[in-house]
Structure 1
Amino acid sequence: MSQTHRPRHYARRLITAALTVTIVAATAGWTVAHEEQAITGPPPGTSAWRADHSLPGAARQLPDPATVSPARIARFFAGLGAAQRRTLAVRHPQVVGNLDGAPLALRYAANARAIRAARAEERAADPHSPLVRRYTTLLSPGRRILAFDPRGRGQVAEVFGDLAAARRTAVVVPGSDIDLNAFDRDHDRYGTPVGMARSLRSRMAGEAPDTPTAVVAWVGYTTPAGLGPDAATSRLAEAGAPRLDRFLAGLAVTTAATAESPPTVFCHSYGSVLCGLAASAMDRTRVSDLVVLGSPGMRADSAEGLHTPARVWAARDSTDWIRRVTGYAFLGVGHGEDPTDRSFGARVVSADRAQGHTGYFAPGTDSLRNFARITLGRFDGVRCADRAEGAQDCRHDLI
């Protein structure tokens, strides 16, 4: 960074920080009343699961979802017969459906059962509830729901493609205002996890039609609602980071037999804050590449400071408003250095033709094409951001 640019850079940080703190202070009363309650811990129904001693012999003690690793859960299910697995899914659909390390097909079946039960309960309380329609949509034929938790604003994960057979996979981690209701909303198509995941998988199919691929849209944490202190601080990201870590550990044990590489993880907006906090646990058995887009910061001063061996990439289009709130952290407000800044050390890729904060996965954009090629490991086709934007060769040491 030039000596001329440095004072302006830090002046902008101080001004932005001061404005943000003023906004936070001015809305403190509203925030206390509406602060999001992070959903953490084991899935609903865990108490009944722990109390179930119906299986014979060594399988009598069911693994505790709160303490047992996904690897041990995978070994537990591998030791059961098909009928025993189905029995557990019928008795405890909410646990089995959210149990990282459990067989994928069993989780899909368990979550379908859990969603049907949630719909019946909601319909009995209010036949005209929007949730009834929401649950019915999730139960559409062909949908593979990998996680479902109706608590709070609701959490859900969906698979696009055959995850069990995929050679290349990706996980999409969204940002603020995303929950069960906004998971696949009709408007702002490419700003939803479903829209992002479908578009990315379609682009990968175009790039490599003979390569089996899958993309997971993961809303496994409580996201901030609106612009306010929850979005400006890391509280919800800190609560969600262990959940992402456990989810990725589960993918590692359930997809290792077919995958050529661990997943590429795409973190949008506030999701990149969560990914930054979870990055230190992202070893090369769980994540190959970490891509942040429209990021307000990753709670780190540099890519090296994330302490992950995964390759770190970043993208931001010139029309994204997030550029106005990056690059500072002050009294716990703000998320640190801009990942697209040269000093951060990420591999910055072009986002030409993307528009606004939610246009990165839109067809025809450089960002979508780059994302598909990163996931496929085709780094020679990745287009770096223009040097005028302050980026270095994003493909160094790759081709």
Structure 2
Amino acid sequence: MRRYARTLVAVALAATVAAGTAGWASGSTQRAVSGPPPGSASWRADEVRGHALPDPESASPAQVASFFAALSPAQRQALAVRHPSVVGNLDGVPLELRYRANSLALKASTDPRYRLLAEQGRRILAFDPRGRGLVAEVFGDLRAARHVAVVVPGSDIDAGTYDRDSDPYGAPAGMARSLRDATGPGTAVIAWAGYTTPVGVGWDAATGDLAEVGADRLARFTAGLAADGLPAPAVFCHSYGSVVCGLAAHRLHVGDLVVLGSPGMRADSVAGLRTSARVWAAKDPTDWIDDVPNIEFAGVGHGTDPTDPGFGARRVPARRAVGHTGYFAPGTDSLTAFAAIATGNFATGDFATADTTDFATADTTGSATAEGALR
């Protein structure tokens, strides 16, 4: 009976303080944006020289890429003009055409939330105004990049909070800019706010419902990058975003999977993620996420802490990070490590200022051994 009571208490706590970036605010239930991009009905009714267009719901990114590769430049541009919302959000479409289509869609929007996104020079890789708004933006030259990183945010992120001056490193645009600055030329970073996130700390944040839809969208997004011939990215998943990444892990076209401030990945260990990617985890000593019970019961809670040695992830130093949203702040050991992971220099990078006892690498059985993996 006592054990049952403790479980109920843990579940109640998980429902109250599970992953997010809004502190102790109450949460409101969200409806996930899913399905094909807006404008798909008119897209399906169109054709190119008597040939049907690929179905935006059922065609794979590879099939989409193959279709666009067979078109002339003029035909591609015509589709972007006629169907900007589909072309701009359809994974597998060449990224330059997606930039063009999303620029057209943003300029046509009258919603003030999107005014800054419509500014000249921004490389918007996805823009979906449904719900609270979904967006992805590229920092750097993605086509020429030798290394690519994707940032997946946690709760309270949408088109209105995607890029903000207050708490910039808690928002995907600020995280991506900071990582791009730390890596320098040759690396492109994508801020991917491409799923419906929880609002506040409530039922959505304590369950995996929104994460499951987000995982589908993230898996398709990375498949689109691969279909476009881009390097396999390192994916950085913050807070509830790590739940998304955990559910998507076995389907992601990635080389490294990094979670920070994670409430759990809905897996008991790295082996449970069923991924060939290297898995890394960071949590700073002042992050309030450490107070979240790491349980999963009746669909509530997200399971084992990825920084627990038994989980088997490689540990990233984060002693200089402050709070739940400080991991990408300039001057932190966590940002230095993230840059090394993103550029593939994690084995040779200069970590003279880091305490290498913070690191662990996973062996093939998923157990962890203390080791200076980054030095």
Match of residue 69 from structure 2: 78
Residues 1:167 and 2:178 aligned together: no
Residues 1:44 and 2:18 aligned together: no
Distance 1:13 1:160, change over 3 A: farther
| Deviation string, structure 1 residues 14-63 (Cα, Å, up to 9, x no partner) | 75334345789xxxxx97xx42000001000001000013x214xx2100
Match of residue 245 from structure 1: 219
Match of residue 136 from structure 1: 115
Distance 1:11 1:365, change over 3 A: farther
Q: Distance in 2 between matches of 1:157 and 1:289?
A: 20
Q: Secondary structure at the match of 2:139?
A: strand
Distance 1:373 1:21, change over 3 A: closer
Q: Is the 8 A contact 2:316 2:358 kept in 1?
A: no
Q: Distance in 2 between matches of 1:165 and 1:23?
A: 42
Q: Is the 8 A contact 1:351 1:385 kept in 2?
A: no
The amino acid that maps onto 2:188 is: A
Q: Is the 8 A contact 2:125 2:136 kept in 1?
A: yes
Shift of 1:253: 1.6
Q: Is the 8 A contact 2:91 2:223 kept in 1?
A: yes
Q: Is the 8 A contact 1:292 1:313 kept in 2?
A: yes
Choose 1 or 2 for highest CA Rg: 1
Q: Distance in 2 between matches of 1:268 and 1:202?
A: 19
Match of residue 7 from structure 1: none
Provide the aligned C-alpha RMSD in A: 2.3
Residues 1:16 and 2:10 aligned together: yes
| Deviation string, structure 1 residues 265-301 (Cα, Å, up to 9, x no partner) | 000000000000000112xxx2000000000000000
Distance 1:248 1:235, change over 3 A: same
Matches within 5 A, 1:87-106: 87-106=78-97
Shift of 1:394: 5.5
Q: Distance in 2 between matches of 1:147 and 1:166?
A: 19
Give the TM-score normalised by the residue count of structure 1.
0.84
Match of residue 243 from structure 2: 273
Q: Secondary structure at the match of 1:255?
A: coil
Q: Distance in 2 between matches of 1:226 and 1:61?
A: 43
Q: Which is worse superposed, 71-80 or 12-21?
A: 12-21
Residues 1:371 and 2:362 aligned together: no
Q: Distance in 1 between matches of 2:160 and 2:326?
A: 20
Q: Distance in 2 between matches of 1:324 and 1:155?
A: 30
The amino acid that maps onto 2:274 is: H
Match of residue 131 from structure 2: 152
Q: Is the 8 A contact 2:13 2:292 kept in 1?
A: no
Match of residue 110 from structure 1: 101
Shift of 1:239: 1.2
Q: Distance in 2 between matches of 1:305 and 1:11?
A: 28
Q: Comparing both structures, which one devotes a greater share of its residues to helix?
A: 1
Distance 1:273 1:385, change over 3 A: farther
Match of residue 22 from structure 2: none
Shift of 1:12: 8.5
Matches within 5 A, 1:1-399: 15-20=9-14, 34-53=28-47, 55-57=48-50, 60-119=51-110, 131-132=111-112, 134-205=113-184, 209=185, 212-256=186-230, 259=231, 262-282=232-252, 286-380=253-347, 381=349, 387=357, 392-393=369-370
Q: Secondary structure at the match of 1:156?
A: strand
Q: Distance in 2 between matches of 1:249 and 1:305?
A: 21
Q: Secondary structure at the match of 1:85?
A: helix
Give the TM-score normalised by the residue count of structure 2.
0.89
Distance 1:236 1:151, change over 3 A: same
Structure 1 unmatched runs, 5+: 1-9, 25-29, 120-130
**Greater relative contact order (Cα < 8 A, sep 6+):** 2
Q: Distance in 2 between matches of 1:289 and 1:382?
A: 19
| Deviation string, structure 1 residues 162-195 (Cα, Å, up to 9, x no partner) | 1111000000000000000000012001111000
